[in-house]
Structure 1
Amino acid sequence: MTDPAPNPHASAEQVRAAFDDPKLANILYHDWEAGTYDEKWSISYDERCISYATDVFNAVAGEQGQPYPRAMELGSGTGFFLLNLMQGGVIKKGSVTDLSPGMVQVALRNAEKLGLDVDGRVADAERIPYEDDTFDLVVGHAVLHHIPDVPAALREVLRVLKPGGRFVFAGEPTKIGDFYARKLGQLTWWLTTNVTRLGPLRSWRRPQAELDSSSRAAALEAVVDLHTFDPSDLERKAISAGAIDVRAVTDEFSAALAGWPIRTFEAAVPPEKLTLRWRLFAYHLWLRLSAVDRKVLAKILPRELFYNVMITGIKPAAPTEL
């Protein structure tokens, strides 16, 4: 069966329909974003993101069982999590899946450039197009909050895992973290787009057409972001789906308080204003604050206060016949 083609230029009628159809909204929004997604979110396939991906994975799942022979990324986007885990030696062979044909296309192109053994399918997370017991590992990054029926998706993940196989999902927003991140982002956007109207700062203002486009994208983004998670409730969902050895871990508190205003500011100003010096400052600040979160704040603050939640679990081994 041939996968559908990307549709990066949705009609106004399609966009209107998407506000009542979260899956269509996800397809249109992510097809539209696919070509610039890595740049928007500062995604790379070098040591910076390899270290991030492997550190996140190991923080929740540990290093036992690596390298996994075959893994699938659910809602892969451009392949950020899977491809960097492969480069980090966590995974040997990979498969990318996403509801957006455009994202699958870009992920496969990224994998080819990196020389990685990866195939891909356009896939609905609630009906994964692979046979039972196919994968040793299923991963995902910032995907569960886009899926209408998370319990159904978790059951599908367990179905395609081999007995004893593991899933790892990371980058999911907590309820409290999403609240303060959105408020900080909205305030930063308002301040930046209004201050840069002033004469001496007009060169720092993006062209109006780009700002309007970003605003429209933000409106559709509100449709594709369906859930926030309480860590304990997410653990219960995974257990109810049939997983064992379930564990949720949270990270990014001070890093999120700084990171969301920085990311929003970067989206509101012309890219040429963001010098290498600025990008290095932002990256190293995030690294320092992430270390504070892990080494200090994680020991004293409730896990619900952190922005990201990561979760892992295992598919039970098949019962032995007597």
Structure 2
Amino acid sequence: MAADPIPNPHATAEQVQAAFADPKLANVLYHDWEAGTYDEKWSISYDQRCIDYATGRFRAVAGDEGWPYKTAMELGSGTGFFLLNLMQGGVIAKGSVTDLSPGMVEVALRNARGLGLDVDGRVADAERLPYDDDTFDLVVGHAVLHHIPDLPAAFREVRRVLKPGGRFVFAGEPTRIGDRYARRLGQATWWLTTNLTKLGFLRSWRRPQSELDESSRAAALEAVVDLHTFDPTELETTARDAGLVEVRAETEELTAALFGWPVRTFEAAVPREKLGFGWAMFAFRTWQRLSWLDDTVLRRALPRELFYNVMITGRKSG
């Protein structure tokens, strides 16, 4: 087996420029650059808060039948957030992480070792997975499908590596309408925060210009790596066309997304030391309450296309 490529967290300007014409290269460069700080940026942890979040997403779309799955692979694992927290929550016994970014695989495996979890990993293209047919009982992913250029090919690979009767679960994918309002809210918050913090009495709240420039470059590449938004019905059709069965999509987060995206953008635009534990708890508790409102009231009354996140599950026949 060939050795995986090594991470490249410091891409050259020439490499970044080339990435604008190559979405896979953009994904590698962007996520290698982000790998070391990704968990902090997105408030990812491996404690009860994120265990509950990951298992809650899984249960919401796939239920709790079949736990624990003996073998599972995460597609586009990033730092391992979804797989590792599902393992800690009792959903999965043994896991494998895969990502196009060597930096992300490296961090995911380090996180797994720190948690004492039975996990291996490979740098892998979702359209050509380096695993034999009928390998896994479960394939999962979180916020990965929108990065994959050839989504039908990826779903065919998911079907190929699943054992007969095996399940797939993907969560955290942006809907077409949800992405539109989330991006506009994020852009408005970034503009407002970075301009207000130029004022004398608010300058202590302004991140150093070098960090703001880095964030701007990251945002520019982010526009290249985010390739798709989804209509839930069309996403179901893509999975069925790949030969998967019992396919079903659910959506979540409306008011929670309207609150969450400005909060995340604000956090990226100000110095981290300005926002302490109190802020973190306020943001998390407010998001929890709004998610409850979305799940228990609004999902029953509004079209699923209006919500920000889409989750999808299904099986390989057999």
Q: Return the TM-score normalized by structure 2.
A: 0.99
Residue aligning to 1:129: 130
Distance, in Å, in 2 between the alignment partners of 1:290 and 1:225 is 24
Runs of at least 5 residues in structure 2 that lack an aligned partner in the other structure: none
Is 1:149 matched up with 2:146?
no
Is 1:185 matched up with 2:186?
yes
SS at 1:78's partner residue?
Answer: coil
Residue aligning to 1:206: 207
Matches within 5 A, 1:295-306: 295-306=296-307
Letter in 2 for 1:63: D
SS at 2:32's partner residue?
Answer: helix
Q: Over residues 28-57 of structure 1, what are the superposed CA-to-partner deviations in whole Å (9 max), with x where a residue is unaligned? A: 000000000000000000000000000000
Residue aligning to 2:243: 242
Distance, in Å, in 2 between the alignment partners of 1:251 and 1:91 is 23
Distance, in Å, in 1 between the alignment partners of 2:128 and 2:174 is 23
Letter in 1 for 2:245: I
Distance, in Å, in 2 between the alignment partners of 1:132 and 1:278 is 47
Runs of at least 5 residues in structure 1 that lack an aligned partner in the other structure: 318-322
Distance, in Å, in 2 between the alignment partners of 1:213 and 1:14 is 15
SS at 1:314's partner residue?
Answer: strand
Distance, in Å, in 1 between the alignment partners of 2:251 and 2:146 is 15
Distance, in Å, in 1 between the alignment partners of 2:89 and 2:121 is 20
Residue aligning to 2:81: 80
> Pairwise CA RMSD of aligned residues?
0.3
Q: Over residues 135-160 of structure 1, what are the superposed CA-to-partner deviations in whole Å (9 max), with x where a residue is unaligned? A: 00000000000000000000000000
Percent identical residues: 78
Residue aligning to 1:164: 165
Residue aligning to 1:65: 66
Residue aligning to 1:265: 266
Q: Return the TM-score normalized by structure 1.
A: 0.98
Residue aligning to 1:119: 120
Residue aligning to 1:320: none
Is 1:17 matched up with 2:18?
yes
Q: Over residues 204-252 of structure 1, what are the superposed CA-to-partner deviations in whole Å (9 max), with x where a residue is unaligned? A: 0000110010000000000000000000000000000001100000000
Residue aligning to 1:34: 35
Distance, in Å, in 2 between the alignment partners of 1:122 and 1:196 is 40
SS at 1:92's partner residue?
Answer: strand
SS at 1:126's partner residue?
Answer: coil
CA positional deviation for 1:119: 0.1
CA positional deviation for 1:275: 1.2
Letter in 2 for 1:131: D
SS at 2:85's partner residue?
Answer: helix
Residue aligning to 1:55: 56
Distance, in Å, in 1 between the alignment partners of 2:285 and 2:68 is 29
Distance, in Å, in 2 between the alignment partners of 1:275 and 1:240 is 48
Letter in 2 for 1:211: L
Q: Over residues 69-116 of structure 1, what are the superposed CA-to-partner deviations in whole Å (9 max), with x where a residue is unaligned? A: 000000000000000000000000000000000000000000000000
Residue aligning to 1:46: 47
Deviant stretches of 4+, over 6 Å: none
Distance, in Å, in 1 between the alignment partners of 2:211 and 2:13 is 18
Distance, in Å, in 2 between the alignment partners of 1:197 and 1:16 is 30
